[in-house]
Amino acid sequence: MSDVMANVSCVAMRGRAMLITGAPGSGKSSLALALLDRGGELVGDDGVTLAQVGELVIASPPPNTEGLIEIRNVGLLEVPVTRAPVAIVINLDPAAERLPLGHGHALLLGRQVPQVDLYPDTPALALRAEAALEMHGLD
C-alpha cells in the first residue's frame, strides 16, 4: 500500500523521518530548510510518497519534485534526498498548546504515528522539532 501526500514536507534525521504538516504558508518548507542546516536530509518538500513496509511507514521523495526545496522569495534549491521510516508528524499550528500533557497521533496508511503540534512562529522551531523527534518519535 502506498500514497502520495501533497502540501507536506519531510526531513530525515539520524535515519528517522519527520513529516511536517500545516496550513499553506505555515512554514513547512522553512522548517525543512532549517533542519537541513542542522544536518537533516530532505525526503520531500511540498509532497512525499508514503509506503507501508511491514510495521513501518516509509517516506520517499515524490516523483514530481524530487530533490527540490522551495526557499520563499528566493527560488528552488536542488539538494540530495533520502528515504526513511516516519517516526513523528510535526504539525505547525499557531494554536498549539504551550505545555501539552502528552502528544497526539496521526494515522498514516492505517498506522498510528506520534504527532506533536508546534507553534510555527519562533526562531527555535528546528530545535523544538528535533526535541520532539527525540522525546516522542518512534525508534
Neighbours of 71 (CB within 10 A): 12
pLDDT tens per residue, range 91-101: 999 999 988 87
Domains: count for the chain: 1
Q: What is the extent of the structural domain holding 15?
A: 2-136
Q: CATH number, domain at 47?
A: 3.40.50.300
Write out pLDDT tens, residues 15-54. Answer: 999 999 999 999 999 999 999 999 999 999 999 999 999 9
CA distances from 136 to 33, 52, 93, 112, 114 (A): 22, 21, 18, 13, 7
- What pTM does this model have? 0.95
Distance CA 81, CA 55 (A): 23
- Give 110's contacts (C-beta < 8 A, 6+ positions apart): 1, 52
